[in-house]
Structure 1
Amino acid sequence: MTESLAAAIERVGSAVQLLRNAPALPTVFPVTPEFSNWRSEQQSWRSSVALLDQSHHMTDLFLTGPDALKLLSDVGVNSFANFQVDNAKQFIAVNSDGYLIGDAILFYLAEESFDLVGHPMVIDWVQFHLETGDYDATFERDGNSIVRAGDPKLYRYELQGPNALALMEKVTGAPVPPTKFFHMATFTIDGLTVRSLRHGMAGQPGFELFGPWAEGERVRSALIAAGADLDLVLVGSKAYSSANLESAWVPSPLPAIFTGEGSDAYREWLPVARAGSLAGSLHSDDITDYYVTPYDIGYGRSVAFDHDFIGREALERHAAAQDRTKVTLVWNADDVASAIESLMQPGLPAKYIDFPKARYGLYQVDRVLIDGADVGISHDAGYITNEQAFVSLASIATAHAAPGTAVEVIWGEEPNSNKPAVERHRQVRIRATVEPAPYSRFARENYRTT
């Protein structure tokens, strides 16, 4: 019998203890780790064109029916007033207290037909409300390749970089029509109909291509052949997993599913195996200390109070009292080197810092300090080859969010948890400097315009 999250919390004693010692790993990308090396692969989306395979690590929730859009509107904070077929948006949901559940990309495929794509957190939340609500809609769930039996329903490839447009025109044999950010178009590649989302990563122009799985290899081969003289680089999971550090997207904040109206029933419904794991130096018995609002991680522009949705009143209060800002923290190179060097010295070392991605739980939450006082939390951390910098994305008090502000990140757990990715270690302090998010000026100025 599948254990629910609610039953697991009761067995362990608290949500924090359950998640801190959960065996769940950080997000796994079940594709080739490196085709060449992750450093050169990171550089490709700045210097030429990168081909990334997104077919295997995300979950698809296909929604159809007369009430599918109503469901999405009831759950999502986004405006749906002008949402049309061949549009997409970053779908965001909060709990009844206005704290973030998660986000995913919502594709408007056809009349009464949608595809919600991303990590499972918000997808589970939407599926729960469909199953338990009064909606004339149905769903089909296509899990990632770790949990799915058989092939994906769709292939999904991403082209990113300054040569992406030239590659698309070469492989389709026609000019690419002007397409707005997060709008879709249809192309023909090697005689096959391919749908495309106008996307961007790290500020570079790009396209997300998708279609029936059976046609995927033929489309991929055509892209590789057309990209031979455009410096096309195949990108593996190591580089791809770190791309968000340049665009400043926080991939997995802890979902606020442990408090709020209706959360009891949701935890009874959700299998504990999908609850994830909690890592980092923040160690509080109060699970709400790990929550963020949409404003804390830069989603304020997507919030629209033009409709009723779960958590609207609470989110309006958060909007009126925003006290955190998303920033990039650039870690001090000497302190990072010292933490790594401790692995080769006598005594208990610092927590291992992996490259290019350093997080060791699905939800990474590290303390950020100024003069010994907590001023926020650090999320995802890793190395950006294009900036030759080790950084993390953080939500910190707006009063301390000015570029150039000196802070410290506490790296490592105390006490050490029992997660498989945690070895015996000691906490260390890493000096860091507050910088904008995205860190790359090109990404800041061009993410939604190129």
Structure 2
Amino acid sequence: MSVVSLQDKINAAGGNPLEMMRQSQVGAYIFPLEPEFTNWRDEQRSWRETAVLFDQSHHMTDLYVEGPDTLRLLSDLGVNSLGNFVPNRAKQFVACNYDGQMIGDCICFYLEPNKVLLIGRPTVQNWVEFHAKTGGYDVTTLKDVRNVENQGRRLTFRFQVQGPNAAEILERVNDGPLPLIKFFHMGEITIAGHKVRALKHGMSGEPGLELWGPSELYAEVRNALMEAGKDLGLKAAGGRAYATSMLENGWIPSPMPAIYSGEAMKAYREYLPARGFEAMASLGGSFVSDRIEDYYLTPWDMGYGNFVKFDHDFIGRSALEELAQRRHRKKVTLVWRDEDVVSVLASQFQKDPAMRGKYLEWPASNYSTLPYDRVMDDRDRIVGLSTYSGYNANLGEWVSLAMLDEESAVIGSQVTLIWGEEHGGTSKPVVERHTQMAIRATVAPAPYNATALGAYREAIGQAAAR
């Protein structure tokens, strides 16, 4: 049987997308840059203590949409209101399926009238591109895929400079005071004699700007930034540190795309390629269900409930109107109990490999594209899901992002997550034989960062309300 689409691949797996993803041979999401430029501990500390340069030029998919129907297309697909969306603004764009379950989220840049740029992991971009091509919209699209798919040929560079010293570094390269740019607004600054666009935004929750321009200026701009920050403690973050930045800002990078079931989504599954992100993604962790719908998430699960606006018609609206009346899980941070983490680490010295806990990779312990661990209360009931996890040198703690039932999401509450997979693990090459181990955890806010919990978090709420 010829397997060319996601639907073909599901059919080849006996119609079971969960088994397809559990046995996928792909590991965690790849950040194709140097793992470390100094060491990941100092690189993590730099975004809190001095300044960090995040290089986002390589790992995200960019989709340009241009034409008279650009905003109509976005309005038809996104839960967000576009009523006040104008050029030089950006939004965290959220798309759902017909049942109100999330396909994903990304950042949408309004570059100029009737032209936007969608950036992030490829799930939303693929969904928008499908409708742009099949929905009769007067738009054109241009996709600039991540480096692991395009052998490194990108249209733009993209850097973030963040931390307490970020403003001074950016003023140095700009040869003067920075323009006043509001949160999720865009402006311009000068670097090495070149005008580059700037967005007020931050991955680590610290102050700074996101900068981008033509890829041919990549080295010149990067060198100018690093030189300007040399005596101010600026460090370039490698892939290992970058993969943990969401643990402080509370952003869950990749929910399970709610596309693998339902007749309404079949045409889309037939459109997606058999070697695309959605078809290759791996599912890992201790949460196991026979229903793929149990892995789907709503905007409220992800902390995006305030993004949902019923001032326009869009795919999933009627379902979300009903869901809005229900109780929802709440996004939190789980702070893992030190001694239980140590027990997992100590178990690596068991002589019998089957008695060792699933290895905790430092600093990011995600080993699959879609991590789903079950979280239990003191009565051994499943009360939520734990996702991305890792060690943070700023905190001196192992933490994870999670979604818990309301009664268990109380700050300071105690829960237990189960680390490792059932039956000794699946066939993924990143999964060694192991035994599941319980890790006690304390519920903390998400984001788990003093800056993000303050003014940064307030700005996110204000931007979402517009």
**Is the partner of 1:201 in helix, strand or coil?**
coil
**Which of the residues 112, 115, 118 maps onto 2:114?**
112
1:247 corresponds to which residue? 249
Conserved? CA contact 1:51–1:232, under 8 Å? yes
1:12 corresponds to which residue? 13
Residues 1:430 and 2:435 are matched in the alignment: no
Conserved? CA contact 2:179–2:189, under 8 Å? no
For 1:149 and 1:201, locate their aligned partners in 2 and report how far apart those are by CA, in whole Å: 25
1:280 corresponds to which residue? 285
1:168 corresponds to which residue? 170
Deviation at 1:2, TM superposition (A): 5.7
Deviation at 1:446, TM superposition (A): 2.6
TM-score of the two chains, using structure 1 as the length reference: 0.98
Report the AA paired with residue 435 of structure 2.
R
Q: Report the more deviating stretch, 433-442 or 88-97.
A: 433-442
TM-score of the two chains, using structure 2 as the length reference: 0.94
Report the AA paired with residue 304 of structure 1.
K
2:358 corresponds to which residue? 351
1:439 corresponds to which residue? 448
For 2:151 and 2:349, locate their aligned partners in 1 and report how far apart those are by CA, in whole Å: 43
1:417 corresponds to which residue? 426
Q: Report the more deviating stretch, 414-423 or 93-102.
A: 414-423
Report the AA paired with residue 329 of structure 2.
R
2:386 corresponds to which residue? 378
Which residues in structure 2 correspond to 1:115-194 (within 5 Å)? 115-194=117-196
Matched pairs, number: 450
**Is the partner of 1:352 in helix, strand or coil?**
coil
| Deviation sequence 1:83-133 (CA, Å, 0-9, x none) | 010101111001110011100111111111111000011111111111111
Which residues in structure 2 correspond to 1:9-48 (within 5 Å)? 9-13=10-14, 14-48=16-50
1:297 corresponds to which residue? 302
For 1:202 and 1:194, locate their aligned partners in 2 and report how far apart those are by CA, in whole Å: 22
Query: Percent identity over the alignment?
Result: 48
For 2:395 and 2:434, locate their aligned partners in 1 and report how far apart those are by CA, in whole Å: 29
For 2:292 and 2:244, locate their aligned partners in 1 and report how far apart those are by CA, in whole Å: 27
Point out 4+ residue stretches in structure 1 off by more than 3 angstroms: none
2:343 corresponds to which residue? 338
Conserved? CA contact 1:181–1:449, under 8 Å? no
Deviation at 1:174, TM superposition (A): 1.5
Deviation at 1:151, TM superposition (A): 2.0
Conserved? CA contact 2:3–2:9, under 8 Å? no
Conserved? CA contact 2:329–2:404, under 8 Å? yes
| Deviation sequence 1:198-238 (CA, Å, 0-9, x none) | 11233310111000001121111111111122111111111
For 2:245 and 2:151, locate their aligned partners in 1 and report how far apart those are by CA, in whole Å: 28
For 1:202 and 1:228, locate their aligned partners in 2 and report how far apart those are by CA, in whole Å: 20
Deviation at 1:150, TM superposition (A): 4.6
**Which sections of structure 1, spanning at least 5 residues, go unmatched?**
none
For 2:11 and 2:120, locate their aligned partners in 1 and report how far apart those are by CA, in whole Å: 29
- Structure 1 pair 150/327, CA: closer, same or farther in 2 (3 Å)? closer
| Deviation sequence 1:298-332 (CA, Å, 0-9, x none) | 11121111111100111111111132100101111
Conserved? CA contact 1:247–1:447, under 8 Å? no
| Deviation sequence 1:115-163 (CA, Å, 0-9, x none) | 1000011111111111111100011111111001452100001101011
Deviation at 1:53, TM superposition (A): 0.7
**Which sections of structure 2, spanning at least 5 residues, go unmatched?**
460-466
For 2:151 and 2:414, locate their aligned partners in 1 and report how far apart those are by CA, in whole Å: 49
For 1:312 and 1:429, locate their aligned partners in 2 and report how far apart those are by CA, in whole Å: 39
2:462 corresponds to which residue? none
For 1:255 and 1:293, locate their aligned partners in 2 and report how far apart those are by CA, in whole Å: 11
1:400 corresponds to which residue? 408
**Is the partner of 1:242 in helix, strand or coil?**
coil
For 1:202 and 1:140, locate their aligned partners in 2 and report how far apart those are by CA, in whole Å: 29
| Deviation sequence 1:397-430 (CA, Å, 0-9, x none) | 0111111111110111113211121111111111
For 1:98 and 1:208, locate their aligned partners in 2 and report how far apart those are by CA, in whole Å: 31
Deviation at 1:44, TM superposition (A): 0.3
Conserved? CA contact 1:8–1:272, under 8 Å? yes
For 1:231 and 1:335, locate their aligned partners in 2 and report how far apart those are by CA, in whole Å: 34
For 1:232 and 1:19, locate their aligned partners in 2 and report how far apart those are by CA, in whole Å: 39
Deviation at 1:20, TM superposition (A): 0.4
**Is the partner of 1:41 in helix, strand or coil?**
helix
